[in-house]
Amino acid sequence: TQLLEQSPQFLSIQEGENLTVYCNSSSVFSSLQWYRQEPGEGPVLLVTVVTGGEVKKLKRLTFQFGDARKDSSLHITAAQPGDTGLYLCAGVYNFNKFYFGSGTKLNVKP
């Protein structure tokens, strides 16, 4: 079992649609991060959320950290084919362990 569970696991949508990806845990994290990974490459950091209830926006992407710091969400508005990729949440657990979520594979069709 994963410490961080993401849903949905796969998502295929049309260009222009909105979507939300969820990252959930039964454990409290001091912070959570979201990454995007292209096939054959390392993950690229999108954002770090630190404070419970925090909301960060990055152009069409909105990230939220749950009040209890056990969950996070990523919302994409008006998705574009360039948003296609594997989205991963990740966080530091117990101050010395860094874990990735189970991943969400997003495909945006033109």
Partner 1 sequence: GAVVSQHPSRVICKSGTSVKIECRSLDFQATTMFWYRQFPKQSLMLMATSNEGSKATYEQGVEKDKFLINHASLTLSTLTVTSAHPEDSSFYICSATRGADYNEQFFGPGTRLTVL
Smallest separation, CB 48 to partner 1 (Å): 6
Give the E-state strand segments of 1-110 in sequence order. 5-7, 10-14, 19-24, 32-37, 44-49, 55-58, 61-65, 71-76, 85-93, 97-100, 104-109
Catalogue the long-range contacts made by 63-67 (C-beta closer than 8 Å, 24 or more residues apart): 63/34, 65/31, 65/32
Smallest separation, CB 102 to partner 1 (Å): 5
Smallest separation, CB 26 to partner 1 (Å): 18
User: Could you list the residues that contact partner 1 (CB under 8 A)?
Assistant: 2, 31, 33, 40-44, 48, 86, 88, 92, 95-103, 105
Smallest separation, CB 58 to partner 1 (Å): 17
Task: Identify which of residues 40 and 82 has a Cβ nearer to partner 1 in the complex.
Answer: 40
Tokens of 14: 């049309």
Task: Identify which of residues 78 and 95 has a Cβ nearer to partner 1 in the complex.
Answer: 95
> 82 — phi, psi (to 5°)?
-70, -10
Task: Identify which of residues 79 and 90 has a Cβ nearer to partner 1 in the complex.
Answer: 90
